[in-house]
Chain A
Amino acid sequence: MMRERLTALFLVSALLAGAFGMTRPAQPWVQGMQENLFWLKKMQWNSEFDLALAGDSRMFRGVSPEDLGRSLPGVRIANYGFSGCGFSRPYLDAIGGILDPRSEQRVIVLGVTPHSLTPNAARNNGYIDKKNLDPFSAWVYLTFPGISTYLKPYSSVEMRMLTGGPPLAKYYARYHASGWVASHKDPEDPREALEEYRRMFEGGNTVDPAQEDELASYVRKWRAQGIRVIGFRPPVSREMLELETRISGFDEARFINKFKTAGGVWLDIDQTGYHSYDGSHLEEKAARRFSRDLGADIAETLTRPAN
């Protein structure tokens, strides 16, 4: 009886798990690569690109390598942005590692946001999360993506849909192999991200000048290795720009001075001229347009001799 009970438990659990997985509601607004696979593949990049885009979610949602590359034909471009990513040492070390040492011209393009220079972003971010995933789990997810996806935990959106409620918002996302996530939210709320950032900055998580210095030291190091380094501040909504300028502790002029002194080139882009669906991230069409504009700026910069 006991032997049957234990075996029965595992059989019943397996059947339950298999059956329950079928109840996962479809989200046709999430497309492209499977999300887990998207991040794991990104973590596997090694010495294979000419140009690396780096930064937080404003980068990985806001810059399309395909559109950027229209002005840079033949250049292998990767979007190496991660969620909430701060420019801390582990991440900075990794950025250079995805560039091909045999490339004729290696370039690092940094999307610098005030949040990416804060202590919280340095400690806890999407890059560190993925880096801390043990190799065996990563191997399982990469080798058995179907089962891994089937058995992944239900998100809040899925649970809400499962219990009969409509999703609060449809978060459209298409995961591209280049590292870009084209995104859009329906309904939009251009003020959505403001409250979150306000609380965070007012709670004490503001720009750390020491992190600015660390980033500058890496710019110097990359320049010494012959890598061109370009930086810019990703576009956001006007209200977000005003909020960050007011309370994030980011002194843009001071930072640009450090960046240029270290050997980087700073691009002065239109910071509020592209449409954001939540105040922080660009919706897909705006991201493509921004990427084309950025690509043209980068191409023009690269025609000039390096400092």
Chain B
Amino acid sequence: MLFNSLIFIAFALAFYALWPMMRKGNALRWAFITAASFFFYGWWDWRLVFLLLASGALNYAAGLAIAGAGPRKKAALAAGVAANLLLLGAFKYVSFVLLNVNFLLRAAGSSAQLAFEAPPLPIGISFYTFMGISYLADIYKGQISPTRSLLHFLSYISMFPHLIAGPIVRGAHLLPQLTTWNRTTEEQRWQGTMLIVTGMFKKVVIADNISRFLDLAFEFGGPVTLHSMPFWWIAMTVFSFQIYCDFSGYSDIARGLAKWMGYDFPLNFNHPYIANSFRDFWARWHMSLSTWFRDYVYIPLGGGRRGKIRWHINMWITMVLSGLWHGAAWTFVAWGAAHALYLSVERLTKWPERLGRLPAGRWLVSALLIPQIWIAWVFFRAPDMGTALAIIKQMADITALSLAPVFVVGVRPLVFLAVGVAMEMYFYLGIDRSRFADSRAFRAAEFILAAIMILCCVYFRGPGAAFIYFQF
């Protein structure tokens, strides 16, 4: 069920009404979280419940096996990780692999073609599989001990706020929290409410309203018929904010729901578009995934400890795999590679630091950073490489300056885009760190703003759509 649906509101009301009764006894609490979360997951498709149960049981058993394997714990870890990757690969990557194998066969002149109809991608599998892998790796490294209770583990891996689209919460962070039940303070509930309201506003008011711009652009033929450099820059600004508001909105709601339970989820987005370098961008965008790749891919490969060239190689591998995690298509690989290129160039030239020292340096850095991020997003949004390259070509075509396509597609979404940009400018200009942010006037403004955001979520919500990251 979607967070922005009536059934979820009914589900959440029932869950939080019963939650105070779960203070006595871990087993009851874990069973309640697990049952509710399985119900939440099964609402999409009841068969998914068995998949989640299988994944949970696999990682629970593998965790115990690693801890008890003695000298064979590396082999036990390898087996556990391989099982997780096989599960993910079977649903997500087999078709992609076969597509490319068939391409190579044709290129080699063979008429043989492999056929396989992959099942639909189970929602959330990329997230809970990665949670399972991090759990096993942390046990191997001795950072955590495996839980002896299957219910405890299932409540961790299936917890509905993070189940479908993250954040990817580490075992060390959440498992201990689940052994406690603390009466939430009013401050926690207020913070949780603000997170939920802000997240919902970002998703249903901004993301859902601006999404129509690009949908219509592609319905009207995309780069084949819409020839305009400014149009495509506007379109990619729209998409950049759509994916940011959609995904960070979901994370905010997830964190808010956890706060209402008295639990803390890590911050997942820290206003990435106000970053002052690509390195800074990746410290702010989808933080739970980027730290996962850092800890479980980049560092085991050697990180930056084996020389400059090896740093670049390890970073490229990490970024390309990160792209591939998002989707089984060359466009996602290209997106990851684009960011790897940006990071390599940044490391070699240190251009953000140099530029940042100039007058209005911060603005100059943003002026160079943002367009590159937008260009990388083209690969993320375009249905195929051909369309992606055609869009980038349009973005560079200085002979096509007409704004007419903007009016063909419609300007209404741009009003909502402006609201999204204004929200981020609040942080870019540092107003959140000013004295105003500590004042009574701020708290009053926050209250009024929250009421207005709730009003907007009711009357100015866009056409209901699933969260973008559900497809990964």
Contact = CB atoms under 8 A, between A and B. Distances in A.
A151 B458 contact: yes
Interface in A193-209: 195-196, 199-200, 202-205
A269 interface: no
A109 B10 CA distance: 41
A20 B459 contact: yes
Contacts of B189: 2, 6
B460 A6 contact: no
Nearest to A21: B459
B447 A136 contact: no
Given A20-B459, A136-B6, A137-B7, A204 B454 contact: no
A264 to B, nearest CB: 30
Contacts of B226: 199
A196 B220 contact: yes
Given A6-B193, A134-B1, A196-B220, A202 B10 contact: no
Interface in A1-29: 2-3, 5-6, 8-9, 12-13, 16-17, 20-21
Contacts of B224: 202-204
A3 B220 CA distance: 51
Interface string B435-470: 000000000000100111011001111100000000
A202 B222 CA distance: 10
Given A20-B455, A134-B1, A137-B7, A200 B193 contact: no
A150 B106 CA distance: 59
B221 interface: yes
Interface residues of chain A: helix, strand, loop or mixed (majority): helix
A156 interface: yes
Contacts of B452: 16
A9 B193 CA distance: 10
A19 to B, nearest CB: 9
Contacts of B447: 5, 8-9, 12
Contacts of B454: 9, 13, 16-17
A71 interface: no
A154 B222 CA distance: 28
B225 interface: yes
A120 interface: yes
The interface centre, meaning the residue of B43, B452, B454 with most chain A CB atoms within 10 A of its CB, is B454
Contacts of A5: 186, 190, 447
Counting chain B residues whose Cβ lies within 8 A of the other chain, the interface size class is 20 to 34
A187 interface: no
B451 A9 contact: yes
Contact of A200 (B220, B459, B461): B220
Contacts of A6: 186, 189-190, 193
Nearest to A12: B451
Contacts of A154: 459-460
B433 to A, nearest CB: 23
A22 to B, nearest CB: 12
B459 A9 contact: no
Contacts of A12: 447, 451
Contacts of A136: 5-7, 10
A21 B460 CA distance: 11
Interface residues of chain B: helix, strand, loop or mixed (majority): helix
B5 A2 contact: no
Nearest to B205: A153
B222 A203 contact: yes
B261 to A, nearest CB: 16
B408 interface: yes
B412 interface: yes
Contacts of B10: 136
The interface centre, meaning the residue of A2, A9, A154 with most chain B CB atoms within 10 A of its CB, is A9
B117 interface: no
Contacts of B7: 134, 136-137
Contacts of B461: 153
B465 to A, nearest CB: 10
B198 to A, nearest CB: 13
A217 B221 CA distance: 30
A203 B405 CA distance: 14
A140 interface: yes
Nearest to B409: A199
Nearest to A4: B186
Interface in B161-212: 185-187, 189-190, 193
Contacts of A134: 1, 5-7, 43
A17 B190 contact: no
Contacts of A9: 193, 447, 450-451, 454
B186 A204 contact: no
Contacts of B222: 203
A205 B220 CA distance: 9
A9 B444 CA distance: 11
Contacts of B43: 134
B220 A203 contact: yes
A199 B225 contact: yes
Interface in A165-218: 195-196, 199-200, 202-205
A151 B460 CA distance: 10
A140 B450 contact: no
Nearest to A11: B451
B416 to A, nearest CB: 11
A179 to B, nearest CB: 22
Given A134-B7, A203-B222, A205-B221, 5 more contacts: A9-B451, A13-B450, A13-B451, A21-B459, A120-B219
15 contacts: A6-B189, A9-B193, A12-B447, A16-B452, A16-B454, A17-B459, A137-B5, A137-B7, A153-B459, A199-B221, A199-B225, A199-B226, A199-B408, A200-B219, A203-B218
- Top 7 A-B pairs ranked by shortest CB distance? A203-B221, A2-B186, A136-B7, A199-B220, A13-B454, A137-B6, A12-B451
